Amino acid sequence: MSYIEPAPIKDKENPLESMMSRFQIAAEHLGLNQQIYNVLKSPVKQVIVTLPITMDNGQIEVFEGYRVIHSNILGPSKGGIRMDMDVNLDEVKALAAWMTWKCAVVDIPFGGAKGGIKCDPGIMSAGEMERLTRSYTMALQEIFGPDRDIPAPDMGTGPREMAWLMDQYSRSYGMTINAVVTGKPVVLGGSLGRTEATGRGVMVTALAAMEKLKLNPFKATCAVQGFGNVGSWAALLLDERGVKIVALSDISQAYYNEKGINISDAVAYQQAHKGSLIGFSGAEVMPADELLFLDVDVLVPAAVEDVITVHNAKDIKARLIVEGSNGPTSAKADKILNDLGILSVPDILANAGGVTVSYFEWVQNRLGYKWTGERVNRRSDRIMKDAFNNVYETALQYDVSLRIAAYIVAIDKVAKTYTFRGGF
């Protein structure tokens, strides 16, 4: 079966094109009805808002904000708010669809959404950020809601912005409504375990994949690209389970130690040095990109998009790639990795631990109750392990990669829901 709009194949791939080409392959394997395909490929709602803000110098500056709901058929839509100068509607649309597939893969009752404001949080004062966040919230107060659309942090936003969003939304309705947003400070109803949740899910899926490859964690080596929230927690937790982390990197450079890097030391060093590893003495310095081509068992990209491409995939030597970041592998690189026999645990599965614990945060807020960190971890580990097994079985059933299998699982769930609900 062929679809009307094949994903464009150009030399430079962008995340939307990469996602659409996988979506298309999975849809063909599923024999997805063309009409449902047409429904799924476009977001259900796209909102653009204009946000005039008084800056600290007294001048009024005008910002543009977006909220895209890709799907709300499985439940309220869920997705972060990105504040960055590169934010644009196309990117927000791609990220919103990604959230739909991610929530469906881990079987949580959420649809997918994403928001963004084109701005540079790096040069804005706390007051300016607060005015911008509150203004965005007011502009979208009819869109947001615990049963409608639930934002969360993304690049450029964190618990501070989520607290302002929750407060502004609650003021509008005259009562505290903390379930409108996740990723809040714990004191406002944020969940224990949220900070490490994504890295933890990476660890759980990495161990599950290693088991399938018969790789003993105590004999395995691993390289982690990116040492932020996801990379540092994935490294710490894999290290705790016996995996030797021989290489790490951040935006400045990479660090290599054949005997294994002491991850707690690296985290402590980074915290003491404004988030940078420069000067860390527990490993030798190496050019940042070389980390990808090390002869290790496991590679965890946890930095930025599009790092494994058609140009360098053939140089990857790891047996297993576990995608902590969103979109680290371009669609054209997939085939090269498959031909090399490298197993990739795709982003929509490997990094879904974050949205899983966001879901737990929402559940706790709705219940007016608080779970222990132990309960959060136990339940998220189970969800991640079940999702991995489901995707693995689907890959065997359809004779496809784990990535295409993850899309098959997700699209099948969303498509079936549309078919049962009907109403077109």
Minimum Å distance from CB 231 to ligand NAD? 6
**Which value, in Å, is the radius of gyration of the alpha carbons in the chain?**
21
Task: Write each residue from 36 to 55 as x if it is in contact with ligand NAD (CB under 6 A), else as -, in one continuous string.
Answer: --------------------
Structure tokens at 298: 């496991």
5 contact partners, CB below 8 Å, separation of at least 6: 41
Q: Is 63 left (phi over 0), alpha (psi -120 to 50) or beta?
A: beta
Instruction: Give the number of other CB atoms < 10 A from CB of residue 172.
Output: 14
Choose, by CB under 6 A, the member of 191, 249, 364, 377 that binds ligand NAD. Answer: 249
Shortest distance in whole angstroms from residue 284 CB to ligand NAD: 17
Nearest distance from C-beta of residue 339 to ligand NAD, angstroms: 25
C-beta of 162 vs 302, nearer to ligand NAD: 302
Determine the 3-state secondary structure of 18 from DSSP: helix
Rounded Cα distance between 98 and 77, Å, is: 12
Residue nearest to ligand NAD (CB): 228
Work out whether 325 is an interface residue with ligand NAD (CB under 6 A).
Answer: yes
Angle CA 111–43–36, to nearest 5: 85
Q: Are 166 and 177 in contact (CB under 8 A)?
A: yes
The residue range among 21-29, 61-69, 136-144, 299-307 that interacts with ligand NAD, by the rule CB under 6 A, is 299-307
Q: Which of 21, 198, 221, 329 binds ligand NAD (CB under 6 A)?
A: 198
Active site residues: 114
The yes or no reply on residue 230 touching ligand NAD (CB under 6 A) is yes
User: Among candidates 243, 179, 172, which has minimal Cα distance to 206?
Assistant: 243
Chosen residue from 44, 55, 304, 363 binding ligand NAD by CB under 6 A:
304
Q: Which position has the token pair 């996801």?
A: 230
Query: In 3-state terms, what secondary structure has residue 89?
Result: helix
Strand partners for 320: 298, 343
Residue number, 215 or 308, with CB nearest to ligand NAD: 308
Contact flag: residue 158 with ligand NAD (CB under 6 A):
no
CB of 150: closest distance to ligand NAD in angstroms? 15
User: At closest approach, how far in Å is the CB of 396 from ligand NAD?
Assistant: 26
**Sign (positive/negative) of CA torsion 260, 265, 268, 269?**
negative
- Does 146 bind ligand NAD (CB under 6 A)? Our answer is no
Task: Give 166 or 234: the residue with its C-beta nearer to ligand NAD.
Answer: 234
Q: Is 193 in the site for ligand NAD (CB under 6 A)?
A: no
Binding footprint of ligand NAD on the chain (CB under 6 A): 198, 225-231, 249-251, 288, 302-304, 324-326, 351, 354
